[in-house]
Amino acid sequence: MSLPRRSHLRALEAEAVHVLREVAAQFERPVLLFSGGKDSIVMVELARRAFAPGPIPFPLLHVDTGHNFPETLAFRDWLVDQTGAMLHVASVDDAIRRGLVQDEAGPEASRNSLQTAVLLDALAGLRADAALGGGRRDEEKARAKERIFSHRDRAGQWDPRNQRPELWNLYNGRIAPGEHVRVFPLSNWTELDVWRYIRAERIAVPTLYLAHARETVDRRGTLLAVTEHLTLLPGETPARRRVRFRTVGDVTCTGAVESTAETLDAVVAEVAGAVQTERGGRHDDRRSETAMEDRKRAGYF
Amino acid sequence: MPTAPAPPGVFVPPPASGRTDALGAADLLRFTTAGSVDDGKSTLLGRLLVETRSVLADQLAAVTEASRRRGHARPDLALLTDGLRAEREQGITIDVAYRAFATPRRAFLVADTPGHVQYTRNMVTGASTADLAVVLVDARRGVQTQSRRHAFIASLLGIRHLVFAVNKMDLVDYAEVAFTAVADEAAAFAARLGVPDVAVIPVSALHGDNVAGRSNAMPWYGGATLLHHLEHVAVGDRNPVDFRFPVQLALRPDAGFRGLAGTVASGAIRPGERVAVLPSGRRTRVRAVYASGREVAEARAGDAVVIALADEVDAARGDLLVRDLNRPFVGSDVEAMVCWMDDRPLAVGRRYLFRQTTRETPARVASVLYRVDVDTLHRAPAAALGLNDIGRVRVETASPVYFDAYRDNAATGAFILVDADTNATVAAGMVRGGAAMVGEADASAQEVIAPEAPEVPVSPDVVRDAPGVTRAEREARQGHRGGALWLTGPPGAGKSAVARETERRLFARGATVVVLDGDDLRH
Ligand SMILES: Nc1nc2c(ncn2[C@@H]2O[C@H](COP(=O)(O)OP(=O)(O)O)[C@@H](O)[C@H]2O)c(=O)[nH]1
């Protein structure tokens, strides 16, 4: 004899809301890392639900690589306006000017490694003791064993061999001064779960996620958007294609997929039938088989 | 809220066109897997992922490529579920990894825990959030120590559904006799543990027999495939009766609104019902229940909600909302089974932080009653517990805690100990009861039969007999599954009436049914 069970998306939602509330209760200065991507958008929506009718009790932090899609910035500002959330922006361009980091050179330069330093610098500046991220365990093998409350040492590093056991829903957020905890409320969601939730709850997203016409170049199988930040390699010719993005990051390394999905239903159908992982379109992950793990050790999100 | 049109770049979805099934029909099953090294656990998981089409082309391509580099002819599915580089070098899994896959019927979250000896702590961690455990057994070797250990830990953590996957059936020529021998051994062991629902399934992870699709090689097996079983096993709320709501935080956005945010730990609550706030004991009624900011008619176990009370009653994080007439135990002296998870052994008398529900209080372990030898399930005298030890202890908390016995209510019977110096989580604990309630445990070398066994010390003369006619046999004869329904409530609440009506209806449907009414039994 059992009661009707709740749908799995409601179960994931409840888990995430519980985690967000634990963060608000256990930490003094949490921040929510907002990338403008769908995962962080869902996280903001969950935070709104967790604390309604009150405001979201922590600020959003956007690490601005300076290589944004204009849609991402428009969306960010609109969302901040809608939710009344407070926004901090940590700018990579600024950090370069300050001499904190140096831009990689060359046409295939990536600002991923710079992002890490800028993020850690911003967290220190805000004296953040917890940083909420939209990371999911299905994204990459290395993430599968990451905890929901993931402890980082003073240098912001993750030690995969020395993680705290995480039992029941009892999250241990105790840290020493200068340390912080990365918290991943969406750990147990898959890409498809995120899209199904966005569809069911009618959550707004940047138009980048829906099919649209755009100038792109095909770089070794990855479709890159042609923007002022992209240096064309010899022999590359831009073409107009109908595409959408599965992840939204740095314009110089986020790959688009050809798509006709103009509605959320169509996106869900496409993701459900997808044959490639979403990170498959991210240039930076392919540098080595353990690329993600190396970045995580260094404090990348 | 009246909103201006969204700016360019922002897609605001139009309202849903009347569909109510937007969240989908699937529910969520959390399970854990374990087995001895090389029993084929990673291969089985990889197989489940592939057969539910949860592995995408680029992942499979990467695995195929890595397999080729190692000289394997076909993709080694174990590589799909094998994470960190250090493990790749050692070729074994070292920690708990979580993985998701789904069918139209159900979404699954798997906590994959390692099989080698020293990682009891990971199994405990994985089992703590699981509804079901899949224990791998090698058909050629039978139920090894490691499988017993995992089944024991699953039962200790209150898991009610156990599946023994008897793997590598291809290596025993898919022979029924080989399976039956292992199956009997597994079922007998599970019966000793008192796990109520046990399934034993013959599979070949490597070839896919009985994993998702039925095996042609084993026509003698009439049961469900592993995936079918996982999709259909009925797991309900662990405790739908005792309403417990640990307050996570009080929301006070403005003078007009006060609400208590939290996740319902067990039971259910509706607006208008009477509740009490612990520890103050103040009584009031529930004015409204909100989920995601909207009023709802009911909240039940697992729902993350906000509860607004009818009166201005002080309540804060760590407080517990309960029904007035259904309260948990209160005390600062509890007995518990703990699994020690830290390199530094448990030190009797040392100060730890006791975290249970949303409450935290300093505590010390007053004494270690015994250690459980997880291989023999016997009690061993012990003065302390080291990494991966499981034992029974008495804990004294600095301030009173509100708890239920773990076997009745995992959500209020579970706790962790945190080392106040290192901040490490050093132990997982399951309350058996208040120290005064359960009495001194006998530390002599007797078997710790079921962790669910009665709290009163059991005389060594009272042993659990191996079942004669098994549950499966009975169910086969009756043509329906067996089950006991326990109705509880205050006198005069209508238990007997509900029971009689239920009996009548089940009887009318051809079920074999009987009511055991306390009144009749006392005649
Ligand atoms: N013949 C046969 N070999 C299997 C089967 N399942 C796994 N194996 C092999 O057993 C070895 C250990 O498997 P693995 O999944 O790594 O075991 P784990 O240590 O339990 O994760 C590997 O060589 C597998 O290919 C099976 O059903 N039949």
Confidence of residue B39 (pLDDT cuts 50, 70, 90): confident
Q: Quick check: B463 pLDDT over 80?
A: no
* pLDDT(B492) > 60: yes
Q: How far apart are CA B401 and CA B279, in angstroms?
A: 9
ipTM of the complex: 0.88
pLDDT at B412 over 80: yes
Interchain pair B8, A275: CB under 8 A: no
First to last CA, chain B: 65
pLDDT tens, residue by residue, B342-382: 999 999 999 999 999 999 999 999 999 999 988 788 899 99
Q: Cα–Cα–Cα angle for B309, B307, B317, nearest 5°?
A: 95
DSSP state of B95: S
The C-alpha atoms of residue B350 and residue B433 are separated, in whole angstroms, by 22
Q: How far apart are CA A49 and CA A162, in angstroms?
A: 33
Return d(Cα B126, Cα B150) in angstroms, integer: 11
Instruction: Name the one residue in this structure whose structure tokens are 């989908």.
Output: B24
Between the CA of B171 and the centroid of ligand 1 the distance, in Å, is 11
Provide DSSP, B337-369: EEEE-SSSPP-TT-EEEEEETTEEEEEEEEEEE
Q: Which two tokens stand for residue A260?
A: 């006709």
Tokens 């176990």 belong to: B301
Range from A89-98, B16-25, B274-283, B322-331 carrying the lowest mean pLDDT: B16-25
User: Of the candidates B322, B221, B292, B253, which has an alpha carbon nearest to the alpha carbon of residue A50?
Assistant: B292
SS3 B447: strand
Q: Tell me the H-state helices in chain A.
A: 8-26, 38-51, 70-83, 92-98, 112-125, 191-201, 264-272, 291-297
* The pLDDT of residue B460: 45
Residue whose Cα lies nearest atom 7 of ligand 1: it is B40
What's the CA gap between A135 and A183, in Å, rounded? 9
Residue B302 scores a pLDDT above 70: yes
Integer Cα distance of B511 and A1 in angstroms: 14
Number of CB pairs, chain A paired with chain B, less than 8 A apart: 234
pLDDT the model gives residue B173:
97
CA B184 from chain centre, in angstroms, equals 24
Is B100 in contact with A290 (Cβ distance < 8 A)?
A: no
3-state secondary structure of A287: helix
Rounded-to-integer distance, Cα B458 and Cα B448, Å: 10
B440: pLDDT strictly greater than 50 = no
Residue A165 alpha carbon to ligand 1 centre in Å = 27
Min Cα distance B11 → chain A (Å) is 5
* Bridge partners of residue B28, in order along the sequence: B107
A interface test, pick of B85, B264, B505 with most A CB neighbours within 10 Å: B85
What is the model's pLDDT at position A288? 43
Which uninterrupted H or E stretch holds A88?
Answer: strand A87-91
Q: Are A145 and B97 in contact (CB under 8 A)?
A: yes
Closest chain A C-alpha to B177 CA, distance in angstroms: 35
Which residues of chain A neighbour B424 with C-beta distances below 8 Å? 164
Convert B225-288 into a string of H (helix), E (strand) and C (coil). Answer: CHHHHHHHCCCCCCCCCCCEEECCEEEEEECCEEEEEEECCECEECCCCEEEEECCCEEEEEEE
Cα torsion angle, B235, B236, B237, B241, sign: negative
Residue B205 in contact with residue B40, Cβ under 8 Å?
yes
Which residue among B11, B16, B428 places its CB closest to the CB of A204? B11
Distance B209 CA to ligand 1 centre (A): 13
Predicted pLDDT at B164? 96
Q: A211: nearest CA in chain B?
A: B11
Which sign does the torsion angle of CA B353, B354, B355, B359 carry? negative
C-beta atoms of A176 and B423 within 8 A = yes
Could you tell me which of B110, B304, B89, B46 has the C-alpha nearest to residue A137?
B110
Is A70 within 8 Å of B121 when comparing Cβ atoms? no
Which of B39, B43, B207 gets mutated to test ligand 1 (max ligand atoms within 8 A of its CB)?
B43
> Is pLDDT of B263 > 60?
yes
Q: What does the pLDDT read at residue B472?
A: 67
pLDDT score for A278: 60
Flag if B423 and A142 touch (Cβ within 8 Å). Answer: no
| CB < 8 Å from B in window 260-289 of A | 264, 274-277, 280, 289
Among A85-99, A253-267, B139-153, B207-221, name the most confident range: B207-221
Q: What tokens were used for B248?
A: 């996570």
Q: What percent of chain B has pLDDT over 70?
A: 86
In this prediction, residue B237 carries a pLDDT of 75
Between B358 and B471, where is the model more confident? Answer: B358
Q: Is there a contact between A278 and A245 (Cβ–Cβ < 8 Å)?
A: no
Residue B117, pLDDT score: 54
Please give the share of chain B, as a percent, with pLDDT higher than 90. 55
- Give contacts of A174 with chain B, Cβ < 8 Å: 353, 418, 423
| pLDDT band (50, 70, 90) for residue B451 | very low
Q: Is A202 on the interface with B (CB under 8 A)?
A: yes
Using the mean position of ligand 1's atoms as its centre, give its distance from the Cα of residue B178 in Å.
Answer: 18
User: Which residues have CB under 8 Å from B172's CB, separation 6+?
Assistant: B139, B140, B178, B179
Q: Which of A184, A173, A24 is nearest to B423 (CA)?
A: A173
What's the pLDDT score for residue B443? 41
**Residue ID of nearest Cα to ligand 1 atom 24:** B40
- pLDDT, position A219: 87
CA–CA separation, B30 vs A8, rounded Å? 10
Predicted pLDDT of residue A95: 87
In whole angstroms, what separates CA B83 from the centre of its chain? 24
pLDDT in tens, chain A (301 residues): 345 678 999 999 999 999 999 999 999 999 999 999 999 999 999 999 999 999 999 999 999 988 888 999 999 999 999 999 999 999 988 888 888 888 877 766 777 778 888 999 999 999 999 999 998 988 776 677 788 999 888 887 877 667 889 999 999 999 999 899 999 999 999 999 999 999 999 999 999 999 999 999 988 888 888 888 888 888 888 999 999 998 887 777 788 889 999 999 999 998 888 665 565 555 454 444 444 445 455 554 4
pLDDT confidence band for B158 (50 / 70 / 90): very high
* Highest mean pLDDT out of B8-17, B108-117, B317-326: B317-326
Which of chain B's residues have a Cβ under 8 Å away from the Cβ of A135?
none
- Considering only CA atoms, give the Rg of chain B: 25
Band (B458; pLDDT cuts 50, 70, 90): very low
- The first and second tokens of residue A15, run together, are 């888990």
Q: Distance from A49 to chain B by nearest Cα, in Å?
A: 4
Confidence class for position B116, pLDDT limits 50, 70, 90: low
Listed range (B47-61, B220-234, B257-271) with the worst mean pLDDT: B47-61
Residue B122 clears pLDDT 70, i.e. is over it: yes
In angstroms, the CA B81 to CA B71 distance is 19
Determine which of B86-100, B181-195, B207-221 has the lowest per-residue pLDDT on average. Answer: B86-100
User: pLDDT at position B132, please?
Assistant: 96
pLDDT for the residue numbered B447: 56
Distances (CA, A) of B432 to B42, B107, B437: 34, 32, 9
Can you give the length of chain A in residues?
A: 301
Helix (H), strand (E) at residue B437: helix B435-438
Q: Is A51 within 8 Å of chain B by CB?
A: yes
Q: What is the Å distance from ligand 1's center to B234 Cα?
A: 29
Q: What string of DSSP letters covers A108-162?
A: T--SHHHHHHHHHHHHHHTT-SEEE----TTS-GGGGG--SEEEE-TT----TTS
AA identity, residue A202: R
For residue B91, the SS3 value is coil
Integer Cα distance of B317 and B330 in angstroms: 17
Please choose, from the candidates B250, B261, B80, the residue with its C-alpha nearest in 3D space to the C-alpha of residue A141: B80
The DSSP output letter for B459 is P
More confident residue, B62 or B452: B62
Residue B128 sits at the chain A interface (C-beta within 8 Å): yes
Of A12, A160, A198, the CB nearest to B84: A160
pTM recorded for the entire structure: 0.86
Which pairs with CB-CB distance under 8 Å and at least 24 residues apart come from B312-316? B312/B258, B313/B277, B313/B280, B313/B282, B313/B284, B314/B277, B314/B280, B314/B282, B315/B247, B315/B250, B315/B260, B315/B277, B315/B280, B316/B247, B316/B249, B316/B250
| Among candidates B109, B262, B428 on the partner chain, residue whose Cβ is nearest the Cβ of A167 | B428
Q: Are strands B257-263 and B249-254 parallel, antiparallel or unpaired?
A: antiparallel
Widest Cα–Cα separation across chain B? 79
Q: Give Dmax over CA atoms of chain A in angstroms.
A: 68
Band (pLDDT 50/70/90 cuts) for residue B42 is confident
Rounded to a whole number, what is the distance in Å from the CA of B12 to chain A's nearest CA?
4
Contact assessment for residue B150 and residue B165, using Cβ atoms and an 8 Å cutoff: no
Least confident of A27-31, B134-138, B259-263, B516-520: B516-520
The CA distance from A69 to A249, in Å, is 8
Ligand 1: centre distance to CA B206 (Å): 7
